[in-house]
């Protein structure tokens, strides 16, 4: 039978939040807080952490203080609370003096149920004095992993929280985080003096998420194909830099994807507009730095893409956790190159020694996760201290597409012996060097080159990466365990000791082999399509079709589509008008005028031969609409002389002509009669015009061999633009 308190809690749950029942351990957590106990909650993203402190704040007297690290997170949660009739406010640097005073006055008066405070604001003496005057029900420390130097988002201000709360009296605390390894968990409890706190730890297993890592090759092309396979769905793409966020957002927009950027360097108003657009489904895809998403309650995010490797597994897990919060299957894709890890290491070089070492350890863990062919779910759960016993989760790339396995009995035995002979005090790199017999300065300084196990693994493999992989697998299969106080160090588990006494067959898995470099993203957009291996059978068919249409229209075949354009068609197989318009030399007007029969022939050929089409491999780039192009088109419309255009844009005259040719051949019709009339009289224009009308090709070299004795190259080029604008568009 339910007690009155339970009925009251469920009534408030329904009235305020619209839920009929609690999820997981929410009710037990809330009851523990209401009983005045310190509470420690480790709950994955999307499992309902916020409600664990919001509901007890609502049902009891006084004001709950919520310490939160991000201004965007505060605003989002305050807006949500106010929308359901709960008076919530925030106190941070965005408020004016008068706004801050109003918040303080309302809090002291008891009008505010939830007051969100930035850790930096909490440390100000004036705010400490103000809080002493308020009736505080409890303090919630959100994103509590920020306390730990071993966490992925260490914030020094979090270290001072306990001392400040102590000044306010004996107030209950609830610490909450979505990502805490056993080491981080200990740090949080120790720093907040919460050793006696009741721990509520939910499973980290998000069964509806599909985890996949792909090599960072042709990443932009893969990204377009991936997003278009989730047409109309909400998704988040994480990039490491603001510049990359802007670049990818623009790239997606050019490719007809409803995307918007989000990063801390944007104007606050623009950033919030994009965030709200995403929440309100006016924007499908948000491209962001890691600042986006904390506390954002959008349940229907169907995919999360890491365009760059994250800084840590904690960060990766938290960011992927923003997908599928409604329980429906969702995809988590990471593009990976070890080059990303090397870039991140450079970012850490200016940090203090301890912080730099911790950051390096987190990066190594991230790299090993990407490289490993072991079940992704097993790796993630193990990292957070949870065992996953299934052999195949069916929801990650490594389980769906398993890599080759090999017998590991003798290898595991060697690894365990190496850990024991080094007194369980060393990390993965030291153990790998030891096993292949590498006499590093570190190995020799401990006389480990004299150990029985030294060099014993060299006959199996002299590759350190191989041994790092099998050491990680020995850990994942729980023959080893991590030292909680120093997670980089390995110890032998009870299972490992038993294995050493009585070894048995155990299969290990070969790692993935990713290239170190990945894409040169900056060059990729500029690269032309490689048409050296175009489909010559289809080219012959299209060439005949072009000749037939040219005969009907009484124009040269090259006017319809040039040979290079058709070679590209025979490489990427466009089957829609949008695909065709992306072929070099085919603009909108030419596609509309001549494209239909070509598309029909390509589509029939593709169906007959089961070929991958342009919609799979062709992407638009954002670099084609240059400022020069727009300026030139506008000023040709205004009949400005080419010499003046060149001077105004700081260009050479011949470069202006080249740009005009590019504009014409990419599909824009230009009327340059006003300029040609200054250079050539009607008879001379007709002479060049007649040449192009009867020529087999529009190649400049061939034209100059025929006309060059009487005309300059610039004159022939400009007349060719006039001819193509009138006949091809």
**Are 129 and 213 in the same domain?**
no
Domain with 389 in it: what CATH number? Answer: 3.40.50.300
In a domain, 544, yes or no: yes
Stretch 631-660: mean pLDDT: 88
Stretch 655-683: mean pLDDT: 87
pLDDT over 70 at 623, yes or no = no
**Are 251 and 381 in the same domain?**
yes
Q: Which domain holds residue 582?
A: 528-617
Q: What is the largest CA-CA distance in the chain?
A: 105
- pLDDT, residue 3, reads 53
CA–CA dist 690, 700 (Å, integer): 15
**Are 588 and 635 in the same domain?**
no
Q: Who's near 110: CB < 8 A, 6+ residues apart?
A: 61, 62, 63, 135
Question: Residue 671: which of 699, 697, 632, 630 has the closest Cα?
Answer: 632
In a domain, 522, yes or no: no
How many C-beta atoms lie closer than 10 Å to residue 114's C-beta?
23
**Are 160 and 235 in the same domain?**
no
Which of 344-348, 580-584, 589-593, 675-679 holds the top average pLDDT?
675-679
pLDDT over 80 at 645, yes or no = yes
- pLDDT, residue 245, reads 92
pLDDT in tens, 530-559: 444 678 899 999 999 999 999 898 888 888
**Are 233 and 352 in the same domain?**
yes
Number of domains, the chain: 5
**Are 550 and 597 in the same domain?**
yes
Stretch 126-139: mean pLDDT: 92
Q: Who's near 591: CB < 8 A, 6+ residues apart?
A: 577, 580, 581, 667
How many C-beta atoms lie closer than 10 Å to residue 5's C-beta?
11
pLDDT over 50 at 525, yes or no = no
Domain with 609 in it: what CATH number? Answer: 1.10.150.80
**Are 154 and 225 in the same domain?**
no
pLDDT confidence of 398, banded at 50, 70, 90? very high
In a domain, 339, yes or no: yes
Stretch 480-501: mean pLDDT: 87
pTM of the predicted model as reported, rounded to 2 decimal places: 0.65
User: Which strand ranges, in their side-by-side order, compose the sheet holding 285-288?
Assistant: 209-215, 330-336, 301-306, 234-238, 285-288, 259-262
pLDDT in tens, 229-271: 898 899 999 998 888 999 999 889 888 899 999 988 888 889 8
- pLDDT, residue 453, reads 93
pLDDT over 70 at 690, yes or no = yes
Stretch 163-183: mean pLDDT: 87
Stretch 347-363: mean pLDDT: 79
In a domain, 128, yes or no: yes
- pLDDT, residue 490, reads 87
- Dihedral over alpha carbons 214, 217, 220, 225 (to 10 degrees): -50
In a domain, 29, yes or no: yes
**Are 484 and 606 in the same domain?**
no
Contacts of 399-404 with C-beta under 8 Å, sequence gap 24+, read 399/375, 402/373, 402/509, 403/373, 403/509, 403/510, 403/511, 403/512, 404/509, 404/510
In a domain, 139, yes or no: yes
In a domain, 516, yes or no: no
pLDDT in tens, 476-487: 888 998 887 787
Which of 23-32, 40-49, 284-293, 658-667 holds the top average pLDDT?
23-32
Stretch 213-225: mean pLDDT: 88
Select from 341, 364, 398 the last residue of a domain. 398
**Are 167 and 213 in the same domain?**
no
Mean pLDDT of the chain: 85
Beta bridge mates, 201 = 42
In a domain, 460, yes or no: yes
The region of weakest confidence among 213-222, 368-377, 501-510, 627-636 is 627-636
């Amino acid at each position: 039978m339910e007690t009155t308190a339970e009925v009251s809690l469920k009534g408030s749950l329904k009235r305020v939040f619209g839920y009929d029942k609690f999820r997981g351990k929410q009710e037990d957590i809330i009851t523990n807080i209401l009983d005045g106990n310190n509470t420690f909650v480790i709950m994955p993203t999307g499992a309902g952490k916020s409600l664990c402190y919001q509901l007890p704040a609502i049902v009891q007297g006084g004001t709950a203080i919520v310490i939160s690290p991000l201004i965007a997170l505060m605003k989002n949660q305050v807006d949500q609370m106010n929308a359901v009739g709960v008076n919530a406010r925030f106190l941070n640097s965005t408020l004016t003096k008068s706004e801050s005073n109003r918040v303080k006055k309302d809090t002291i008066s008891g009008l505010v149920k939830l007051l969100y405070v930035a850790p930096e604001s909490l440390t100000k003496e004036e705010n400490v004095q103000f809080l002493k005057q308020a009736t505080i029900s409890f303090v919630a420390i959100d994103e509590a992993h920020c306390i730990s130097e071993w966490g992925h988002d260490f914030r020094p201000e979090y270290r001072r929280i306990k001392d400040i709360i102590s000044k306010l009296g004996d107030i209950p605390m609830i610490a909450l985080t979505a990502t805490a390894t056993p080491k981080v968990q200990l740090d949080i409890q120790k720093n907040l003096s919460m050793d006696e706190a009741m721990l509520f730890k939910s499973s980290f297993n998000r069964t509806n998420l599909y985890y996949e890592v792909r090599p960072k090759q042709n990443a932009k092309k893969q990204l377009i194909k991936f997003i278009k396979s989730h047409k109309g769905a909400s998704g988040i793409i994480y990039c490491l830099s603001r510049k990359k966020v802007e670049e990818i957002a623009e790239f997606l927009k050019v490719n007809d994807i409803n995307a918007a950027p989000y990063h801390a360097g944007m104007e606050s108003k623009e950033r919030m507009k994009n965030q709200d657009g995403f929440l309100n489904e006016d924007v499908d895809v948000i491209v962001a730095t890691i600042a986006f998403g904390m506390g954002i309650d959008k349940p229907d995010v169907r995919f999360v893409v890491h365009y760059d490797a994250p800084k840590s597994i904690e960060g990766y897990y938290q960011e992927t956790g923003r997908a599928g919060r409604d329980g429906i299957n969702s995809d988590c894709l990471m593009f990976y190159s070890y080059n990303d890890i090397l870039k991140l290491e450079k970012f850490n070089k200016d940090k203090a020694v301890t912080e730099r070492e911790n950051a390096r350890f987190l990066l190594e863990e991230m790299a090993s996760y990407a490289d490993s062919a072991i079940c992704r779910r097993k790796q993630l759960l193990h990292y957070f201290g949870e065992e996953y016993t299934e052999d195949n989760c069916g929801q990650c790339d490594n389980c769906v597409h398993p890599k080759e396995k090999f017998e590991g009995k003798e290898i595991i035995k060697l690894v365990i012996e190496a850990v024991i002979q080094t007194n369980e005090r060393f990390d993965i790199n030291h153990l790998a060097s030891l096993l292949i017999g590498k006499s590093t300065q570190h190995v020799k300084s401990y006389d480990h080159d004299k150990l029985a196990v030294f060099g014993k693994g060299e006959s199996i493999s002299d590759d350190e990466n191989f041994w790092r992989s099998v050491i990680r697998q020995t850990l994942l299969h729980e023959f080893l365990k991590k030292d909680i106080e120093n997670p980089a160090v390995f110890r032998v588990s009870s299972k490992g000791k038993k294995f050493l006494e009585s070894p048995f067959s155990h299969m290990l898995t070969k790692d993935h082999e990713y290239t170190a470099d990945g894409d040169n993203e900056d060059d990729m957009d500029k690269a032309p399509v490689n048409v050296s291996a175009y489909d010559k059978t289809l080219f012959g068919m299209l060439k005949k079709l072009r000749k037939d249409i040219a005969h009907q229209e009484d124009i040269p075949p090259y006017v319809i589509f040039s040979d290079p354009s058709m070679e590209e068609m025979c490489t990427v197989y466009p089957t829609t008008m949008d695909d065709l318009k992306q072929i070099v030399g085919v603009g909108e007007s030419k596609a509309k005028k001549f494209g239909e029969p070509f598309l029909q022939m390509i589509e029939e050929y593709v169906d007959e031969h089961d070929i991958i089409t342009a919609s799979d491999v062709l992407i638009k780039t954002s670099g084609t609409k240059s400022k020069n192009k727009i300026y030139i088109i506008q000023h040709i419309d205004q009949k400005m002389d080419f010499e003046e255009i060149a001077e105004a844009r700081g260009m050479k005259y011949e470069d202006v002509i080249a740009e005009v040719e590019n504009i014409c051949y990419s599909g824009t019709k230009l009327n340059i009669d006003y300029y040609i009339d200054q250079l050539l009289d009607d008879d001379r224009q007709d002479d060049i015009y007649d040449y192009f009308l009867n020529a087999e090709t529009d190649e400049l070299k061939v034209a100059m061999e025929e006309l060059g004795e009487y005309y300059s190259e610039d004159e022939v080029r400009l007349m060719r633009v006039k001819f193509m604008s009138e006949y091809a568009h």
